[in-house]
Amino acid sequence: MDREDYGKDEGRYMICPRCDFNQAYKIFEAPVDKCWEVYRCPRCNFTWRSTEEEEVTNPKLYHSKFKLSERQIEGMAPKPPIPPLRRPQEVKR
Amino acid sequence: MPYGSLREFLAKAEAEGQLVRIKEKVFLEPDIRAAACAAAKVPGGPVLLFEQIQGYIEKQIAVNVHGSWQNHALMLDLPKETDIKAQFHELARRWDRYPVPPKRVGNAPLKDVIIDKNLSLFRELPLFRVNPMDGGFYLSKACVVSRDPENPENQNVGIYRLQVKDHDRIGLQVGAHHDLAVHLRKAEELNMPLRIAIAISNDPITSFVASTPLKYDEDEYAMMGAVRGEPTEVITSERGNLDLPAGAELIIEGEIIPRQRFVEGPFAEYTGYYSTSMIQAEIKVDLISRRRDPIIFENLYTGLPWSEIDYMMALNTSVALFKQMKADFPEIEAINSMYTHGYCTIISSKMRFGGFAKTLGCRLLSTPHGMTYPKLIIVVDDDIDPFDLQQVIWAMTVRFRPERDLVVIPNAPGSTVDPAHLIRGITTKLIMDATKPAFPDMPLADASIVEIPKETPSWIEKIMERMKGDI
Give the burial string for B332-344 (b: 16+ CB within 10 Å, else e). bbbbbbbbbbbbb
Convert the pLDDT of each residue in B156-213 to its tens digit: 999 999 999 999 999 999 988 889 999 999 999 999 999 999 999 999 999 999 999 9
Q: Does residue B199 contact residue B143 with C-beta atoms inside 8 Å?
A: yes
ipTM field = 0.91
Helix, strand, or coil (residue A77): coil
Q: How far apart are CA B199 and CA A3, in angstroms?
A: 23
Question: Cβ contacts (< 8 Å) between A79 and chain B: which residues?
Answer: 173-176, 261, 278-280, 416
Q: Where are the alpha helices (DSSP H) in B16-97?
A: 31-41, 69-75, 84-95
Convert the pLDDT of each residue in A37-90 to its tens digit: 999 999 999 999 999 999 999 999 999 999 999 999 999 989 999 999 997 666
Q: How far apart are CA B47 and CA A8, in angstroms?
A: 40
Convert the pLDDT of each residue in B86-142 to its tens digit: 999 999 999 999 999 999 999 999 999 999 999 999 999 999 999 999 999 999 999
Q: Give A61's DSSP letter.
A: T
| Structural domain boundaries in chain B | 87-304, 314-433
Is B269 catalytic? The answer is yes
Gap from B324 CA to chain A (nearest CA, Å): 26
Between chains, do B29 and A40 touch, taking CB under 8 Å as contact? no
Q: How far apart are CA B344 and CA B318, in angstroms?
A: 11
Cα dist from A28 to A35, B121, B341, whole Å: 11, 10, 36
Site from A45, A73, A92 to mutate, B interface, most B CB atoms within 10 angstroms: A45
Between chains, do A31 and B262 touch, taking CB under 8 Å as contact? no
DSSP string computed for B248-296: -SEEEEEEEPTT--EEE---B-TTSSB---EEEEEEEEEEEEEPSSSEE
Question: Cβ contacts (< 8 Å) between B30 and chain A: which residues?
Answer: 53
Q: Is the pLDDT of residue A92 over 70?
A: no
Residue of chain A whose Cα is closest to the Cα of B178: A80
| Structural domain boundaries in chain A | 1-61
Facing A31 at nearest CB: one of B57, B274, B277: B57
Q: Is the pLDDT of residue A6 over 60?
A: no
User: Which carries the bigger pLDDT value, residue B369 or residue A93?
Assistant: B369
Q: Mark the ranges of chain B whose per-residue pLDDT is less than 70.
A: 1, 470-471
CA of residue B139 relative to chain centroid, distance: 15
Between chains, do A79 and B175 touch, taking CB under 8 Å as contact? yes
Omega into B413 within 30° of 0, i.e. cis? no
Q: How far apart are CA B86 and CA B441, in angstroms?
A: 34
Site from B130, B165, B192 to mutate, A interface, most A CB atoms within 10 angstroms: B165
CA of residue A4 relative to chain centroid, distance: 18
pTM: 0.94
Name the amino acid, one letter, at A91. V
Q: How far apart are CA A87 and CA A66, in angstroms?
A: 41
Question: Cβ contacts (< 8 Å) between B28 and chain A: which residues?
Answer: 49, 51
Between chains, do A31 and B123 touch, taking CB under 8 Å as contact? yes
**Active-site position among B269, B282, B298, B308:** B269
Specify the CATH class of B314-433 in words: alpha beta
Between chains, do B166 and A27 touch, taking CB under 8 Å as contact? yes
pLDDT band at A7 (very low <50, low <70, confident <90, very high): very low
Cα dist from B34 to A38, B63, B374, whole Å: 21, 11, 30
Q: What is the pLDDT of residue B293?
A: 85
Between chains, do A4 and B118 touch, taking CB under 8 Å as contact? yes
Phi, psi dihedral angles at B318 (to 5 degrees): -65, -45
Superfamily of domain B87-304 in CATH is Electron Transport, Fmn-binding Protein; Chain A (2.30.110.10)
Pairs across A and B, CB distance < 8 A: 121
Q: In the beta sheet, which residues pair with residue B256? A: B194, B283
